Every structure is written in C-alpha cells, then in structure tokens.
Structure 1
C-alpha cells in the first residue's frame, strides 16, 4: 500500500449562506503518460503538417478532448475507408489497432502515425511471442473495446480467445491445457482481473502469464486511491466519459469499496445535483483520459453551491513519460 500524503486548501472564502462541503481530491488522477503522448501526437502533427490531420477512432475516450482536437483541425474517422486520398497524416488511437489496419494504410500509401500506448503495445508483443512459441492465448477483457479488438487482431483467427467472466473460463475447452498463455486488457479493474487470473491458474495450472501485470500503472494507481477513501466519504465523483473503460472501473471500484453514492460525469452539467444536496464529504477523481480542466470545472460548480474545503490525498507519485511517435520526433523543432 502506498504512503498517503494530504494537503488541505480552501478554494473559496467561507460563506455562511452556503452549506459546508469537505472535498477529498484524489491523486493521482487524470491523464496518464499514454494519453498525454496520444494527444500530443495529434497536436504536434497539426503543428507540423497543418489541418486536417485524420485520426482513426477517438484518440482517447473523452468527448471533451475529441471536440477540442476537432476545433484545432483533427478529423476523426472510424475506418480508413473514410479517409480520402491524401498526403496528410492519419493517426492511430492510443487503444491500438489490428495488424490489418497498418497493412491497409500501407497499401493505400497513407502516411500513418501509430499513437498506440506503449503499454498496450507491450500486450501485443506478449501475445505475438506466445503465439510464436505455439501457445493458445487467452485474453482477459471486454468484448468490443477498441483495445481488445486491436489485441485480438495481432494474431491469426483462432489463435486468441477472449474470456470476460469466470464462467467463460470454466466453460473453456482447449486442445492442449499445458500449452496456454494469457494477457489482459490494460484498463480493467485490478480486483476483477485478479479473480480472473486466479480462475485461469486454478483451471490451467501450467498457463503462462506476463512477466509484469498488463494492467497499466495509471489504472492501478487511480483505483488504489479510490479504495483508500471510498468508505470515508458520502459520495464520490469520477470525471470521465461513459465510454472510457478505466473511468467506468473507477466508479465500480468506489461502489465495491463501500461508497454509498458514486457517479461518473463528464461535465458539471451532468451532475445530478439533487443527489448531492445533503452530503458533507465528497471525493473527486478523474479517469486517465480526463483533462484536469474538467475537474476544475466541476469543483467550481460545487463551489457555487457549497462552502468548499478541499483536501488533496495522494497515494502514489507518477513520473512516467513516453516520447512521441518517431515520425513526429524527427520533425520536432
């Protein structure tokens, strides 16, 4: 368990006309290194090549970030066939893509820039290595999530099987139980994944796992911070988009850890104010793809209704940095 440090600050002078509210602002929160790299990749490509810069899928799962980049000249598409014949860059999102996508880009002479998070790329390489060694790969993840689609797409059909629940594991039938490996989606619940891995290793004692867990450091740290405070506050807000896996997991972790009221919101306008009218303590965190400006917006909205006292609680220090994709590093001046 990480050491906890706290820092108290008031963001508004006491106002006797407003009810008091103690806010626990969790740290780490918000952008992780992979998200920073992906957003910087789009902005740097716009700086170097000008608009438009095409992005396959949302660069990260946050609507505010996507709309901000659109305003700067990014054009988001779901598939490459939506991209016209152009010399402008096409950026692959932080979630990763199946191998077929870079092949399609090369066939069309598209200038592709891969902004896949290096921690997702690590999972891809693990899956490829297991496949080369003749192992069937089991992927713990959520069906349909872009990261899962990308990981499955690293291997030939039938070489990787998605398992989403312990029941899926119990029902598995494989030809060689002694020749298996597993990898996981990087944004899962730490506790859920532990349960799945326990089920896998119990059912298949010789299964090979990653040398280091696949769940990313940011997901782990943000969930741990939520666990530390969940039982000690009246409510917890997660700032993030509804389609963000790591943000959804933060809300679930809060609920499982004993928080009586947990909500995921993108903007201040999404807060269900009636639910928060009688609370005296509130924890606030943000998913790994949520910018700090949205946290500040929500705190300002609470400050308009409450006399706030804010205490920052830190459970880990993050100093991770990922350099830009090499195509942009060469061009940076």
Structure 2
C-alpha cells in the first residue's frame, strides 16, 4: 500500500511569455540561418532547455568575443548592456535581441529618468545578468544597486532630491516592497515606476505558492539554481508558512528522505522550467505515493510576445 498524498499543483507555473519567446527566437534563427547560431549567455536559466537547444545547433558563450563575425548571435532573455549590441554592430554581425519585453520596459524607464537628470537606484541582485544588463543601459555611476533595506541606509546619491528607482523583474514581491518603503522613507521625493517592474509572471507564480503554502507539508519548486525567479519561489513558500521548500532541477534531484511522512505536497515551477519536468516530478510522486491531484489556480495568463521582425521575414 502506498501512503496517500494530496499534490497541490500551482497555476500559473512554468514558462512565461518572455521565456517562450526567447526559446522560439533561437529555434527560428536555427531554421532561418542553419546551425550554428551563437547565444550570448544561457537563453533562459534552465539546463534542460539549454541542452535541448544545444542539441539543435545553438552554441552558448559568455562573451561576444567568443562569437565569430559570420554567424548570427542571439542575446539572452535577461537583457544586455548597451555596449554589447554596439560591439556587434561594430563587427557587422547579424544579431537578434531576445530580451524579454518586460525587461526592455525597465531599460526604457531608466533611460527616460536619466534624460530627465535623475540618478537611478536599482533594486536587484548583484551579478545577475538582468541586473548587469539594466545597469549597463546608463553610464557608469548613474545606477546605484541595492539588494536589501540595509543597503538603502548606506546609500549616498549625488542629489537626494533627484532620484528614481527601478527593480529587477524576478524579485520577491514582499522583499521588494520592504526595500521600496525604506527608499521612500529616506528619499521622500524618489520617483517609482508607473507600473510595478516585477513582471506579471513572477507575481502570479509567487501568489500561487502563497495560496498553497498553508496547506502543504512541503513544496517542490522545479527550476535551476541560477534562476532568480525559481529561488524566490522557494523563499516565498517558506515565508508563507510551509515548513519545507526544495528547489529541484528534475525528479532525480528530489530528496525523498526530507519528504518522509508528508501527506500534502505543493508543486510549482519557475518561469524558465518546461512543463515536461513538472510532469516528471508528478510521475515520480505517483511511483511512491497514492496521489490525489488538486489544482490551485490563482490567475489565468494569456500574454504573448511577438518575435522580432527579422525572424518573421524569409531568409
């Protein structure tokens, strides 16, 4: 007899429109120009997706210098500093920008504030490619990075009266609210975004986890260790009252000992994790438990982003 398990499956989960578009861009580029197509940085933070595209002829590199002049190069969904496309143009390269449109929106926002004479404060994670790309939209020193409310206390801008803030799109909604409150307390005239920078997919996935957390003994988040939005889901689950949250790349990475004796399990996936990996986790649970599947849907997503025109035109 297998022990009974109620499996709460989060919806929305997994791929968002920006990830969908980025993967499609690589596939369409391979169809249009043939292999190899170079991709600067992992197109999205998921090993399964990257390995699949590598098998189709994509070559992943960390620097533009590692790409030849005569093959197309794609910039990842996380966005790149202004200097990257400029360097590609200087070398007459064919390039396609797969930056998520919601990240591009933050880039445009930063440029608009800069043009109005404001210094930017960016709430984000140091070294994350999205943060590097966003800070790289403006000249050195024009974007100050804060990761925590404590960082805000140490902030010394050029002119405290001429500030605006932007955020990385994949942060924890609650942690960011705390940092924004600290910024507004210290700099009362700081200008914020018209609409939340944290993207709809990040917000929706976190809301679904919050709905599941009080009912679950444990939560499994399918995602990659370098995926910011997946790691935030683990933290959100723990903060929302679930005793145990685990990030797993695939079913084979599940620590079953930690799940001994549970009767309710939440399952979700970060925005760059494909549904096939979620199904793999569900099947692994069915092999060990008598599973009753329950869907917890907190939002319906129907966002779609167009691929760049260059890929819609014939070769």
Q: Is TM more than 0.5 here?
A: yes
Structure with the larger RCO, 1 or 2 (CA within 8 Å, 6+ apart): 1
2:210 maps to which of 216, 224, 227: 227
Q: Does the alignment pair 1:245 with 2:228? A: yes
In the other structure, the counterpart of 1:187 is: 170
Please report how far the alpha carbon of residue 307 of structure 1 lies from its aligned counterpart in structure 2 after TM superposition. 1.1
Deviations 1:159-211 (A, max 9, x none): 11101111111111123111100000000000001001111111101001110
1:279 aligned to 246, 262, 265, which one? 262
Deviation at 1:85, TM superposition (A): 2.8
**Residue equivalent to 1:118:** 101
Residues 211-230 of structure 1, C-alpha deviations (whole Å, 9 max, x = no match): 00100000000000111110
Within the candidate set 57, 71, 89, 2:72 is matched to 89
Q: 2:39 aligns with which of 55, 63, 67?
A: 55
Matches for 1:139-154 after TM superposition, within 5 Å:
139-154=122-137
Corresponding position of 1:71: 55
**CA deviation vs aligned residue, 1:19-58 (integer Å, no higher than 9, x gap):** 1111000100000000000000001111111111110000
SS of residue matched to 2:29: helix
1:114-169: per-residue Cα shift (whole Å, max 9, x none)? Answer: 00000000000000000000000000000000000000100001111101111111
Q: Residue 175 in 1 paired to residue 119 in 2?
A: no
1:34 aligns with 2:36: no
TM-score by length of 1: 0.93
| Pairs within 5 Å for 1:296-307 | 296-307=279-290
Report the aligned-residue RMSD. 0.9
Residue 74 of structure 2 aligns to a residue whose secondary structure is strand
User: Partners of 1:179 and 1:201 in 2: how far apart?
Assistant: 13
| Deviation for aligned residue 1:278 | 1.1
Q: 1-side partners of 2:225 and 2:192: how far apart?
A: 30
Q: Give the whole-Å Cα distance in 1 for the aligned partners of 2:291 and 2:197.
A: 38
TM (norm. structure 2) is: 0.99
Identify unmatched segments of 5+ residues in structure 2: none
Structure 2 counterpart SS, 1:331 = coil
Deviations, residues 70-129 of structure 1 (Å, cap 9, x unaligned): 00110000001111231x310000000000000110111110000000000000000000
Residue 133 of structure 1 corresponds to which residue in structure 2? 116
Q: Distance in 1 between matches of 2:314 and 2:79?
A: 23
- Preserved CA contact (<8 Å) 2:8 2:267: yes
